[in-house]
Amino acid sequence: MGTTTPATATLLVELLTEELPPKALKTLGRAFADRIVQGLVDAGLAGADAAVALFATPRRLAVAVAGVLARAPDRIETKKLMPARVAYDVDGRPTPALTKRLDREGVAPAALSTRSDNGVDQVWLEQSRAGVALAAGVQAALDDAIAKLPIPKRMSYQRRVHDRGGDAGVETTVQFVRPVHGLVALHGENVVGVRALGVDAGRITAGHRFMGMRHVSIESADDYVKTLYEDGKVVAGFAERRDAIRARLIEVAGTDKVVMPDALLDEVTALVEWPAVYPGTFDAGFLDVPQECLILTMQQNQKYFALTDADDRIVDRFLVVSNIDTDEPANIVGGNERVLRARLSDAKFFFDQDRKRTLASRVDGLKTVVYHNRLGSQYDRMLRVEALAGRIAAMLGGDIDATKRAARLAKADLVTDMVGEFPELQGLMGRYYASHDGETADVADAIEDQYKPRFAGDALPRASTGTCLALADKLETLVGLFGIGAVPTGDKDPFALRRHALGVVRLLIEKGLRIDLAALLGAALDTVPPLAAPRAEVMASLHEFVRVRLAGYCRDLGYTTNEVEAVVHGDGPFVDLPKRLEAVRAFAVLPESVSLASADKRVRNILGKSADAHGHRLDPSLLTADAEIALNRALDDVGPRSERAYDEGDFTSALLALASLKEPVDRFFDEVMVNTDDPAVRANRLGLLSSLHEPMNRVADLSKLAA
């Protein structure tokens, strides 16, 4: 990293701890570094563009910042005190108000100046402030970082804390994520005199517990990475360790593929300081167990990496990431193989036991599983989903019997041993058990697909039965929880209702379902227990909630906020929205679009101020002004062409046809007074505007495109 000028040097700060929580290490390392750097920048000791290297291992959080000053430069601090008319009397002498303020600030009148601020003369105080010394700035940054680390739960432990004079010290309770054993703070080669959590800074850190030096002396901040690597057998950088593990996993896997989720890779990176990868094997007889169970057992219980062949089928090998590098890993591998054998035996036992009973025989067991204290058991919920899924299948022309059968069995795997051990497998295990029971493939697949899409980018259900069940499952959740007032607030969404709503949006659009949201919500509301709020209120809240997710979905497709707002509040099935958005974008590039969008906004405002604007009928015989006659003639030509294109689903042509209305619309507003004194003429002109409003808003609300 290196120094940049003789007046600057690299600053290193390291907290040495007991083993940190592996799932939190990456976040803790980033947060620690960010707070330290921000504190240095705020103090003027480092630039906002300073080169930063962050480090995080199982036993340390550290950061190195290049080009840190030994003392921040002096600065001029400017402060507005009060208006000049309050500060000085008519003779220009300081008033008591100003004198009192200066006494409080501890300065003389000579430090003042007067200048205008928004047209008002103000008195300003200018003072020179000495730059912050390095130790003070680092101490403040370190204190801030420790106080603001995202620690879910802090440990309390005792430490004998000494004062700077070196007395015997006193026992003090210290709180941190894990006990701290050391603090390194170096500016170049010099120790920075700071303290944290009862520990004074020095240059001594610890190496690898088994392979490195117990005490490692860091002679210079720039030598930190090299010294830890060579003397401590520690790869300090989280990203560097992660990359090394990933590369080694792929190398050792050979022709097989590594099942390597990011979360597992992050976790094992947080468990080792000097990573080594070893292959192990297990009894091929375990391959009769669904591979999802085997993989989850390896990942969750043991932090192993499963391997698959070219066809993505699991093989009887696995990889373990160890914290010990040795030429004779037999004991390490053998121990891990024995542990995995026991875990896989458990999984096989669960699988064998679960198949001794059919899913259908387990349905009554859902009566003892609480879903929500105000919404009943999982059995009660199953009955609601079953009824709703059947109605949705009828709406969509699906197989009603198959859909209801899948809904009845959908939650039965919740009372199996395998799902009890691995809740992540719910639905998936239901498919395996349904197939074993002789249920049709359609029903079995639907049981797995009921939760899809579970996250952004997840696959959708494979067939109509699964789609109907997935919609029913999500809609029942939404209406039930909205019905009892369990609505998400802020960033809190304990029941993942936003995810459910986005799932509904994706299913309707990406599955091409020509069904209205209101019809689905109405059917869902028919199934739930008595609501805490009026039905219409719950319906309106849900409609808006889903439409917010719809707007986000459309923006993710690359459309602007104005383009999205032009379509998401209209009527009609969601499946048409992508085509509507394409039409709006095509219309927006027309030279006539700005004028027509502004005109539509004006028409909306005029009609909105008339109590019965849309009830007025146009009588062509009452049109007298040339401009209104011309507009009506243009509408007679454009309206039918636009309507035909709309009825054929050609939304782009329906909108582009409106371009020829620009001139007659502009002329109408230039020459015609709508709110004339003659009530019959006024009503007729409102009727003409209503006739204009309809084709201009058939595809989208064009007023949303107006600046």
Distance separating alpha carbons of residues 623 and 321, to the nearest angstrom: 84
1 located within any domain: no
**Beta bridge partners of residue 376, listed in sequence order:** 372
Q: For residues 171 and 149, what is the distance between their CA atoms, to the nearest angstrom?
A: 24
616/541: higher pLDDT = 541
Note whether 201 and 330 are same-domain residues.
Answer: no
Q: Tell whether the model's pLDDT for residue 3 goes beyond 60.
A: no
141-158: burial string, b at 16+ Cβ within 10 Å, e else: bbbebbeebebeeeeebe
Asked if the structure places residue 566 within a domain, the reply is no
Number of neighbouring beta carbons within 10 Å of residue 491: 5
The set of residues, in sequence order, having a beta carbon less than 8 Å from that of 173 and lying 6+ positions away, is 156, 157, 158
Q: What is the pLDDT of residue 228?
A: 97
| Cβ pair 29, 54 in contact under 8 A | yes
Q: Which amino acid is present at 568?
A: V
Say which residue the tokens 């249920």 belong to: 439
The residue among 496, 495, 380, 362 whose CA lies nearest residue 416 is: 362
Please check whether residues 610 and 519 belong to one and the same domain. Answer: no
Say what the pTM is. 0.81
Amino acid at 670: D
Give me the pLDDT at residue 125, please.
Answer: 85
User: Following CA atoms 175, 150, 153, 260 in sequence, which dihedral angle do they give, to the nearest 10 degrees?
Assistant: -130
Task: Tell me, yes or no, whether 116 lies in a domain.
Answer: yes
Q: What length does the chain have?
A: 707
Query: Are 346 and 412 in a shared domain?
Result: no
Mean predicted confidence (pLDDT) in 605-614:
74
The range of the structural domain enclosing residue 120 comes to 75-129
Q: Do 109 and 245 share a domain, yes or no? A: no
Residue 249, Cβ neighbours under 10 Å: how many? 21
Rounded CA separation 279/612 (Å): 79
Does any domain span residue 562?
A: no
Q: Report the pLDDT averaged over residues 467-481.
A: 97
Amino acid at 658: L
Mean pLDDT of 272-299: 97
- Most confident range (mean pLDDT) of 109-118, 171-180, 342-351 is 342-351
What is the Cα–Cα distance from 667 to 634, expressed in whole angstroms? 12
pLDDT tier at 112, thresholds 50, 70, 90: confident
What residues contact residue 91 under an 8 Å CB cut-off, 6+ apart? Answer: none
pLDDT (0 to 100) of residue 611: 64
What whole-number distance in Å separates Cα of residue 652 and Cα of residue 24? 50
- Give me the mean pLDDT over the 445-452 stretch: 98
pLDDT in tens, 403-430: 999 999 999 999 999 999 999 999 999 9
State what percent of residues in the chain have pLDDT above 70: 97
In which element (H, E) is residue 204 found? strand 204-205
| Distance between CA atoms of residues 540 and 508, nearest Å | 19
* Phi-psi region at 376: left, alpha or beta (left = phi > 0; alpha = psi -120 to 50): left
CA angle (179 as vertex; 177, 182 as ends), nearest 5: 115
Q: Which two tokens stand for residue 314?
A: 């699991």
Point out the least confidently predicted range of 383-397, 509-523, 669-683.
Answer: 669-683
Question: What tokens does 614 get?
Answer: 């849309």
Residue 408 and residue 386 in one domain: yes
Q: Which of 322, 354, 386 is the last residue of a domain?
A: 354
- Do 386 and 404 have their domain in common? yes
Closest by CA to 256, choosing from 307, 298, 305, 291, is: 307
Of 114, 129, 144, the last residue of a domain is: 129
Beta bridge partners of 56: 61
Q: In this predicted structure, what is the pLDDT of residue 545? A: 96
Q: What are phi and psi of 135, to 5 degrees?
A: -60, -40
Mean pLDDT across the chain, nearest whole number? 93
pLDDT at position 170:
75
Q: Please determine, for residue 4, whether its predicted confidence score (pLDDT) is greater than 50.
A: no
Element (H, E) at 155: strand 155-161
Q: Are residues 65 and 175 in the same domain?
A: yes
Per-residue pLDDT, 528: 85
Buried b (16+ CB within 10 A) or exposed e, 269-303: bbbbbbbbbbbbebeeebeebbbbbbbbbbbebee
Last residue of a domain, one of 289, 323, 354: 354
| Of the candidates 312, 255, 262, 302, the residue with the CA atom closest to the CA atom of residue 282 | 302
How far apart are alpha carbons 27 and 23 in whole angstroms? 8
Are 100 and 217 within one domain?
no
For the residues of 217-238, what is the DSSP string, one character each? E---GGGHHHHIIIII-----H
- Does 662 lie in the same domain as 598? yes
Instruction: State whether 650 and 697 are in the same domain.
Output: yes
Same domain, residue pair 262 and 330: yes
* Residues 141, 246 within the same domain: no
Residues 566-594 have pLDDT tens digits of 999 888 899 999 999 999 999 999 999 99
Return the CATH number at 602.
1.10.730.10
What is the count of structural domains for the chain? 5
DSSP assignments along 95-139, one per residue: PHHHHHHHHHHT--GGGEEEEEETTEEEEEEEEEEPPPBHHHHHH
Helix, strand, coil percentages in the chain from 3-state DSSP, rounded to 5:
55, 15, 30
User: 415: which 2 tokens?
Assistant: 């009372």
Structure-block tokens of residue 200:
């004074």
Residue 489 pairs in a beta bridge with: 492
Return d(Cα 615, Cα 609) in angstroms, integer: 13
